[in-house]
Amino acid sequence: MTRKAKPPKGAIAEARKMLRWRDKHGRKVVKGATRVGWTRANQIASGKPLTEATIRRMARFNRHRKNAKVAEKYQATPWRDRGRVAWGTWGGTSGVNWAIRKVRQYDREDKAKRTRRRNSRSIRRRTRAR
């Protein structure tokens, strides 16, 4: 069964803000995101559950955290800051932090499942050996 989770409200709000900026100012002005980034913004903005694979990709986007703040020269027009727009399309700080927590949770669950499986095999081997 595929694991899914709903993005947090902060991530939904951030993605919607980026989409509003793009709609209001146009793609020629709001240039910060790739096609994948805009797709992610639409997925997050919908508020529907995201797949584990999508959540893991969001967590990996953490490498762009340096772009979370609007550059000084774009304070009056933050939609022109490409890094800030890209960061926002992935749910912003709220979305990326949530994704990191979810990935850690999934990894703990996977590790526990492997340990249980390994232990049950070990018990079966010992039982047969008697």
pLDDT tens digits, residue range 8-34? 999 999 999 999 999 999 998 998 899
With a cut of 90, say whether residue 45 has pLDDT above it: yes
The count of other CB atoms within 10 Å of the CB of residue 75 is 10
The phi and psi torsions of 42 (rounded to 5 degrees) equal -65, -40
Contact 102, 62 (CB under 8 A): no
Structure tokens of 104? 């850690």
Alpha-carbon gap, residue 99 to 104, rounded angstroms = 9
With a cut of 80, say whether residue 1 has pLDDT above it: no
User: What's the pTM?
Assistant: 0.86
Q: How many structural domains comprise the chain?
A: 1
Residues 75-82, mean pLDDT to the nearest whole number: 93
Q: What percent of the chain has pLDDT over 90?
A: 79
Q: Which domain, by its residues, includes 64?
A: 4-129
Place of tokens 């749910």: 91
- Given pLDDT bands bounded at 50, 70 and 90, which one contains residue 120? low
